[in-house]
Amino acid sequence: MYIATLLCNPAKPCVEPALVESLRNAWGGSEALWLAPDVAAEFSVTAMPENQWQVWEDLQGLGVDLVLQPAANRRKKMLLADMDSTMIQQECIDELAEEAGVGARVKDITARAMNGELDFNGALTERVSLLKGLPETVIGDVLDNRITLMPGGPALLSTMKADGAYAALVSGGFTAFTARVAATLGFDENRANTLLVADGKLTGEAARPILGREAKVEALEQISARLGISEADVIAVGDGANDLGMLLRAGAGVALHAKPAVAAQCEIRINHGDLTALLYIQGYAQDDFSQNNSKD
């Protein structure tokens, strides 16, 4: 048994009942269950439709995401999340680079690294070197004035945690940022790289070893083992090439507004929905959402 979920950007509701009924009838699905009016609906099918990706492509043009996954074990016990362009709307290193006057150069390297065109570790080392001499106080300024949460994040964290799930933030970015974001959203732990500072200024180096793609996979392995759960009990979310390892290993790997080369390798692709999409695909209805645990 499989579950088909149709969803869209909650800020622009566009999942029409006629669309859901048409697809349900075409695929011989069960009666549709609405998780949120005009935003998300699901129905079950007995077999994976052969035209899944053609229908997915057609729905993309309507602003609708389509996810098909096994009905069993949909509700996960752990959230493993990337930070930059996933839990927040920015790339922290790009924002620091703007302050250092090298924004355009760093943004180009970031984009190529996230699309898998450059080695992540080498790209990070090069970008951090361009920040040399930047006052450490700039980090706080960027956090206060440039960083914004991705829509749906507070609801995702508080709802999953209220249901007993564990949440870990794993980033190729920096601990100075993950600590604030993790505390704001209610993550149980966070892992990231550390920017080295001397005499109140960035040295242009990051502490070794660099946390990249393999470190995210290690976090998946280590934390799930520590919790006594399987990797199938984990939902992971990210957007860049350095997230692919954990996305392909987790029970549900969600490519959220991901780079094309990344999304192409993932079975769950969310291009229109926000982070609440991760709740809908687990079968949570809007009425189940809780934001009581969020500090933001």
Q: Which pLDDT belongs to residue 296?
A: 38
Q: Which pLDDT belongs to residue 295?
A: 39
Cα separation, 29 vs 4, whole angstroms: 9
Active site residue 243: no
* Residues of the chain scoring pLDDT < 70: 291-296
Listed in sequence order, the residues at least 6 apart from 49 whose beta carbon sits closer than 8 Å to its beta carbon are 27, 55, 68
Q: Which pLDDT belongs to residue 291?
A: 66
Q: Is 186 in contact with 295 (CB distance < 8 Å)?
A: yes
CA distances, 70 to each of 21, 106, 119, 157, 209 (Å) = 20, 40, 34, 23, 37
Find the catalytic residue in 38, 65, 84, 144: 84
Active site residue 108: no
Cα separation, 30 vs 185, whole angstroms: 36
Find the catalytic residue in 38, 58, 82, 141: 82
Domains and CATH numbers, the chain: 1-72 (3.30.70)
pLDDT digits (tens, 9 = 90+) for 16-51: 999 999 999 999 999 999 999 999 999 999 999 999
